[in-house]
Amino acid sequence: MNTATEIAYLVAAASFILGLRMLGSPETARHGNLLSAFGMSLAALVTFFGDEMENYGWVLFGIVIGAVVGVVAARLVEMTAMPEMVALFNGSGGAASLFLGWVVHLSTSPNFFTASTVIMAVFIGGTTFTGSLVAWAKLRELTLAGKRLGGAYTFPGQRAINMGVLIIALLGGVVYAADSSGSVAAGGLAVGILLSLLFGILLVVPIGGADMPVVIAVLNSLSGLAACAAGFAVENAILVVAGALVGASGFILTTVMCKSMNRTLVNVFAGGFGATGGGAGTVVDGVVQPIMAEDAYYLLEAADSVVIVPGYGLAVAQAQHVVREMSDLLEKSGADVRYAIHPVAGRMPGHMNVLLAEANVPYDVLAEMDDINPVMGTVDVCLVVGANDVVNPAARDDECSPIYGMPIIDVDRARIVIVLKRSMGTGFAGISNPLFFRSNTRMLFGDAKTSLQQVVSEFKD
């Protein structure tokens, strides 16, 4: 490696760090991403024109194919399908680390330390690869042998089998690292590769439904760690730095998602959301107060401050644009309108914000749960669209509820809550919601998009 290459790698590392820092604010985020992309391009260029390069044609071939696939996929993907896209990109990164580790094994005779990092790159990369593919299939809700994927599949002895696979893989790794050029080494590596692919599948199969955001965050973290291990294998610090940054990022997002769902990581990977028992919590009975779109209009029209709480149901109904239209009308009539976003609203961390941004909702009216809750008592009307469990006061008050302890948006503290809902059925997790029976709650039944359109047309009349 010559000095020019080393300097370029330093610049690249600085670009990644500064780029991530700039991602901390919506104003600088786009430039941050471009800076990070610049660093990556620079590092790739100096490597390509480095001293030890011989086979330019092959490398160029790989880059062109990869770039075309990447650009086309990134431009065509729908914003609602972002989790699947990220899962696939994660998977391809993981597979790349697996192959790179394998190449290091084939083309050098690694010492004990390098061999251990090779096996780690291979194992983490392989797990990320198949884990991401399974996550993608679940998010797409593909069907396999007539069964719809997407749910959580658990079977007896699952934990024991996973542990067994992990232990055998570890033994394979030790055998390989102890004598990486010996006769049994190839066998050890082969065991490592096959079991890593199997482990990725086993890891994600028992997870489904609402836990999928956690899986994506974990796979994100793993793809970084795989790159890190590959960096040790090829002794290149830039891979270690970048991989570690991503590993840390995925870890934080994993923690955030787990906390927002009141679940532990172990709990998530043991699988079966809602399968942990506990029933539906204290069943609440009472009188609901249904209203018509016209009544909702009068309530909203009289309000000085309105908070809209969107859930993923809003995106399913494709109602982002009509919500935006309504909030524009409200603002025109002098009301202060904000959106309160729960961290798990959507199918991946921060997903709802992107969906609203796509509908031209400016980011400065998007409020985080922790910022909006203290002022919820001063809000005149809170409009809940397509959200259920994340506004369920049972999570705060009812110790028998399976979601007890999960942080929620305290919509029930607003003066009036209008809940848009198709019918009185329980939510995704089948948990009863006492919010619907509160004296300050009004239920606007029907399709969310149609109801909102009716409210909007009332405004225009």
Nearer to another protein, 133 or 444 (CB): 133
Nearer to another protein, 250 or 281 (CB): 250
Q: How far is the CB of 358 from another protein (least distance, A)?
A: 5
89, 153, 445, 459: residue in contact with another protein (rule CB under 8 A)? 89
Q: How far is the CB of 406 from another protein (least distance, A)?
A: 16
How is 157-216 classified by DSSP, letter by letter? THHHHHHHHHHHHHHHHHHHHHTTTSTTHHHHHHHHHHHHHHHHHHHHTT--GGGHHHHH
Nearer to another protein, 358 or 380 (CB): 358
Q: How far is the CB of 445 from another protein (least distance, A)?
A: 31
Nearer to another protein, 89 or 404 (CB): 89
- Cα-based distances in Å from 393 to 20, 123, 366, 382: 36, 43, 22, 14
b/e per residue, 5-39, with b = 16+ CB within 10 A? beebbeebbebbbbbbebbeeeeeeeebeebbeeb
Which range touches another protein (CB under 8 A), out of 91-99, 169-177, 313-321, 422-430?
Answer: 91-99
Number of amino acids touching another protein (CB under 8 A): 113
Task: Tell me the per-residue interface mask from 326 to 355 with another protein, x by CB under 8 A, - otherwise.
Answer: ---------------x-x--x-xxxx-xx-
- Cα-based distances in Å from 430 to 279, 383, 401, 402, 448: 9, 22, 11, 10, 20
Judged by CB under 8 A, the chain residues 288 through 327 that form the site for another protein are none
37 binds another protein per the rule CB under 8 A: yes
Check if the beta carbon of residue 49 is closer than 8 Å to that of residue 2. no
Separation between Cα atoms, residue 433 and residue 420, nearest integer Å: 14
- 389 catalytic per annotation: yes
Q: Strand, coil or helix: what is 290?
A: strand
Judged by CB under 8 A, the chain residues 355 through 394 that form the site for another protein are 357-358, 360, 362-366, 368
- Which residues make beta-bridge pairs with 417? 382, 441
Check if the beta carbon of residue 379 is closer than 8 Å to that of residue 414. yes
- Cα-based distances in Å from 272 to 256, 342, 343: 20, 22, 21
Judged by CB under 8 A, the chain residues 159 through 198 that form the site for another protein are none
Q: How far is the CB of 125 from another protein (least distance, A)?
A: 8
Check if the beta carbon of residue 402 is closer than 8 Å to that of residue 431. yes
What's the distance, CA 334 to chain centroid?
Answer: 36
118, 122, 217, 406: residue in contact with another protein (rule CB under 8 A)? 217
Judged by CB under 8 A, the chain residues 6 through 25 that form the site for another protein are 16-17, 19-21, 23-25
Judged by CB under 8 A, the chain residues 410 through 439 that form the site for another protein are none
Nearer to another protein, 117 or 388 (CB): 117
Which range touches another protein (CB under 8 A), out of 30-38, 183-191, 300-308, 394-402?
Answer: 30-38
7, 69, 167, 424: residue in contact with another protein (rule CB under 8 A)? 69
Nearer to another protein, 409 or 431 (CB): 409
Nearer to another protein, 234 or 429 (CB): 234
Q: Burial of 166 by CB count in 10 Å (0-12 exposed, 13-18 middle, 19+ buried)?
A: middle
Judged by CB under 8 A, the chain residues 223 through 252 that form the site for another protein are 223-224, 226-228, 230-252
6, 14, 50, 426: residue in contact with another protein (rule CB under 8 A)? 50
Separation between Cα atoms, residue 282 and residue 272, nearest integer Å: 22
Separation between Cα atoms, residue 433 and residue 273, nearest integer Å: 18
Q: How far is the CB of 108 from another protein (least distance, A)?
A: 9
The catalytic residue among 179, 364, 370, 389 is 389
Nearer to another protein, 67 or 163 (CB): 67
Judged by CB under 8 A, the chain residues 95 through 154 that form the site for another protein are 95-97, 99-100, 102-104, 106-107, 113
Rounded to the nearest 10°, the torsion over CA 47, 52, 53, 59 is -60
Token pair listed for 429: 């997790």
Q: How far is the CB of 342 from another protein (least distance, A)?
A: 9
Indicate which residues carry an active-site annotation.
389
